[in-house]
């Protein structure tokens, strides 16, 4: 039995849209056309795909599966304009790739009988080429009209990815979790770099010195999971070292609060690991809560 060839269209030729279109074409899908906010970005992607640059409504009319890979702020207005000109049709699949928005952003498409979905790659993208490299093997969240789930699953399988389903009400917390794991990791490293600067480490050595440590920690998490990957003074119950750390944060109040807040979370992880007794945990929590002005849950 021959595999079905999906006819896909893309509105939005940024990093995510470009990478998805290129990978799905390689997987056997037909890209019927692309549109984008700027003619130059649409032409650049269309050249790589060997497909036409079309108006947004023409892309929508030709596509069985329509990807709105615009900025988040543009998704609802683009959907509304396409609905205004009657570009959607019953049974058509319409997807966006926003992590923060639900399929409700595509309500104008659903009102014309299309099956609206959000299909979000749980990945960060610095460039199109990097996205092409990391999308295969990534997880995707699927949310929206259940009648479109089989299509979304097949798309993820063509991308060699994995997936899970989300309820619309859980989308915001899901996206917050992604931000903590990705964006806040960058912020955390910036905090660590501040401390290395205060310690007198030369600028050109600071980040290169941290990256092997971060890579080793992620390898431990991959191999051992959480909580077992936790190491360091909190996992050991080394209150003396923690007191010295806190004393060293003079004139760095922002970094001190980051250290103390994350320290409280690390205490919870250490308790789950089983390396921190009740009295040790209480004493270390008291250190951090003293910095923060009280427990986090008050």
- How does pLDDT run across 126-175, given as a tens digit for each residue? 899 999 999 999 999 999 999 999 999 999 999 999 999 999 999 999 99
pLDDT confidence of residue 5: 67
Residue 2 DSSP class: P
Query: 86-91: which pairs have CB atoms within 8 A and are 24 or more residues apart?
Result: 86/112, 87/56, 87/57, 87/60, 87/61, 88/60, 88/112, 88/113, 88/114, 89/61, 89/113, 89/114, 90/114, 91/115
pLDDT confidence of residue 4: 65
Task: Identify whether the C-beta of residue 19 lies closer than 8 Å to the C-beta of residue 71.
Answer: no
Tokens 């497909």 belong to residue: 51
Give the closest residue to 262 by CA, choosing from 277, 240, 242: 242
CA atoms within 13 A on the CB side of 194: 17
How big, in percent rounded to 5, are the helix, strand and coil portions of the chain? 60, 10, 30
pLDDT confidence of residue 195: 97
Tokens 């049709």 belong to residue: 89
Residues contacting 135, CB < 8 A, separation 6+: 19, 20, 23, 121, 123, 159, 161
Residues 277, 223, 127, 154: what is their CA dihedral angle, to the nearest 10 degrees?
-110
What length does the chain have? 298
Report in angstroms the alpha-carbon separations of 162 from 22, 59, 106, 285.
18, 28, 24, 38
Domain boundaries, the chain: 7-170, 181-292
For residue 120, the cross-strand partners are 141
Tokens 């056997």 belong to residue: 28
Tokens 């649409």 belong to residue: 42
User: Which regions in the chain score pLDDT beneath 50?
Assistant: 1-2, 298
Residue 113 DSSP class: T
pLDDT confidence of residue 295: 83
Peptide bond connecting 227 to the previous residue in cis, omega within 30 degrees of 0: yes
Q: Which CATH architecture has domain 7-170?
A: 3-Layer(aba) Sandwich (3.40)
For residue 74, the SS3 value is helix
pLDDT confidence of residue 298: 43
CA atoms within 13 A on the CB side of 219: 6
pLDDT confidence of residue 1: 38
Task: Identify whether the C-beta of residue 290 lies closer than 8 Å to the C-beta of residue 256.
Answer: no
Residue 251 DSSP class: T
């Amino acid at each position: 039995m021959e595999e079905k060839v999906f006819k896909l269209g893309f509105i939005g030729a940024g990093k995510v849209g470009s990478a998805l279109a290129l990978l799905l074409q390689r997987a056997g899908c037909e890209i019927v056309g692309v549109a984008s906010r700027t003619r130059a970005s649409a032409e650049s992607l269309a050249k790589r795909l060997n497909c036409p640059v079309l108006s947004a409504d023409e892309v929508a009319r030709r596509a069985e599966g329509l990807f709105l890979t615009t900025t988040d702020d543009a998704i609802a207005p683009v959907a509304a304009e396409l609905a205004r000109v009657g570009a959607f049709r019953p049974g058509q699949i319409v997807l966006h790739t926003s992590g923060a928005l639900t399929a409700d952003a595509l309500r104008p498409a659903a009102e014309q009988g299309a099956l609206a979905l959000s299909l979000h790659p749980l990945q960060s993208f610095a460039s199109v080429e990097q996205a092409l490299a990391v999308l295969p093997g990534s997880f995707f969240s699927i949310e929206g009209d259940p009648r479109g789930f089989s299509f979304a699953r097949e798309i993820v399988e063509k991308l060699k990815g994995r997936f899970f389903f989300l309820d619309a009400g859980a989308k915001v917390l899901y996206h917050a979790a992604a931000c903590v794991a990705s964006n806040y990791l960058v912020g955390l490293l910036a905090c660590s770099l501040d401390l290395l600067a205060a310690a007198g480490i030369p600028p050109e050595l600071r980040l290169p010195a941290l990256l092997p440590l971060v890579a080793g920690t992620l390898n431990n998490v991959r191999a051992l999971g959480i909580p077992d990957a936790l190491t360091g003074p909190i996992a050991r119950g080394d209150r003396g070292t923690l007191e010295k750390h806190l004393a060293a944060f003079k004139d760095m109040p922002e970094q001190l609060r980051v250290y103390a807040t994350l320290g409280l979370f690390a205490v919870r992880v250490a308790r789950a690991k089983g390396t921190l007794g009740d009295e040790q945990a209480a004493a270390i929590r008291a250190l951090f809560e003293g910095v923060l002005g009280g427990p986090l849950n008050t």
